[in-house]
Amino acid sequence: MHILEKPVSSRRWWSLLVILAGTFMGTLDMFVVNVGIPSIQQSLHSTFAQVELVIAGYTLCYAVLLITGGRLGDLYGRKRLFQWGVLSFTLTSLLCGFAPNATMLIVFRLVQGCSAALMIPQVIALIQVTFSGPQRVIALGCYGATLGLASIAGQIVGGLLIGSNVFDVGWRSIFFINVPVGVLTLLASIPLVREFAQPGARRLDLIGVGILTVGLFLLAYPLIEGHDLGWPLWIFLALFLSVPVLALFVFYEHRLTRQGGSPLVPLALFRQRNFVLGMLTALVFYSANGALFFTLALYLQFGLGFSPLVAGLTYLPIGLGFFFTSLLVPRVVSLIGGKWVLRSGALVMGIGELWIIMAVLQAGMRIPQDQLLLPLLVFGLGGGMIGAPLMNVVLSDIRSQDAGAASGLLTTAVQLSNAIGVAVIGVIFFEVLGSTTPGQIARLSALPYGRAFVVSVSALVVMAIATLLSVSLLRSPKKGQNDPAQEKMSVTALQEATPR
């Protein structure tokens, strides 16, 4: 056991820092472009629809290809796929920065989203096979903290870079910033990140990839673009068609498994109680997060007239709260157990949302920025108590050889839940607002925006209650350690690992 652990333990925490840098880059780029919309539109003389594709194209490719990217890591090596993803992400970031027109920027962003789908699923898989026991809980806590910080930093970094006009390149700096980070991450991964070669089939299920990609596209594109397109009939038709296509995928994967093939998604994952309940919990939890980010941005910038930078800084307490509890949670989990931490997180989130509602109502819908900071901090504290321990509970029973596929499924659920939250709560927000066109929105006062925001956050309180109920059904690993079978799996994985 000592021989097995020594080469891994000497560099495992440096390895974690390297792969989390990839997670930070990929997540940051989902949010950083939002602040640059006006600058991009003016500089490239693009239409609003083209700028929307710059944002939605990245998210769409990322969400649709995550499962495939995770499975590729299972088959061909997590370190190798992570490095290819970082390299491709860095090059496409450079190309985005030099894009001469909107069309080329859209193309480069699509490829950048594909690169992120190769890179990010490997992170949880590498954590699964590198860490075990309490150390895995800490590592997943760091992963959760990175996600929270990156989502908030996107708003702030974008505002700072564009506002200060670094090197006089305007909005292009939000892409150029990825280049030095990507190069350093790639170089550091060579000596620090260990490769794990899994035994078994080395063929990718291409038919499964094709069916799943079509099904997820039919599901994700309407959710991401439905509101901006005005929810035409064909959007609902696409959503309807996604159901039989995804059902066909399940049928095909089941048949391939019975024939002894290598399926893209091991269906045995869905026989794991914690995995299924955890996926449902993630859908509710991250839907609420995405919806709050979306409606708060509309309220701050359109209703209260905040600048993009000031609006971005308003999100800072959420990120700080998420970061603090993500790092503190592993120690608390060892004392009271993961399920109680998850329950407490859902309760704290609900308290934060109720506090937001009360603060906005007491301020007469025109709330000063400083009065939002404490309730948003409480919301972030609750979110950090759920994000990291949820991943540990969900993945606690997953076999090492399926870590990439499970990671891809979980990350896909997170991305789709953000789109679902924005779509569902967005309908409530604009229904209460009573206006949906840009011209009408610009003429509205703070009062209707505040009313729409309060109603939307009230719906999020209901989602916090649903999160509380769903986490209560999860089975928590033993305090301070993983299931013995899981520990045995981790040792076996290290024995079978082949450094490259």
Q: Please state the rounded mean pLDDT for residues 66-73.
A: 86
SS (H, E, C) 4-47: HHHHHHCCHHHHHHHHHHHHHHHHHHHHHHHHCHHHHHHHHCCC
pLDDT in tens, 123-138: 988 888 888 777 887 8
- Which of 344, 353, 321 minimizes the C-alpha distance to 457? 353
DSSP 402: G
Mean pLDDT of 259-281: 83
Q: What is the mean pLDDT of residues 437-447?
A: 59
Report how far apart, in Å, the C-alpha atoms of 195 and of each of 33, 73, 143, 300 are.
Answer: 33, 10, 19, 46
Residues 6+ apart with CB under 8 A from 369: 306, 310, 314
pLDDT given for residue 57 in this prediction: 85
User: What does pTM read for this prediction?
Assistant: 0.78
Assign 3-state DSSP to the chain and report helix, strand, coil percentages, each to 5: 85, 0, 15
Give the right CATH number for 2-204+264-496 from 3.20.20.100, 2.130.10.10, 1.20.1250.20, 1.20.1070.10.
1.20.1250.20
The answer on pLDDT for 425 being more than 50 is: yes
Domain chopping of the chain, boundaries: 2-204+264-496, 205-263
User: Higher-confidence residue: 383 or 492?
Assistant: 383
Q: For position 382, what pLDDT does the model report?
A: 92
SS3 188: helix
Split at pLDDT 50, 70, 90, the class of 491 is very low
Answer yes or no: are the C-beta atoms of 155 and 311 closer than 8 Å: yes
Give the per-residue pLDDT at 7. Answer: 45
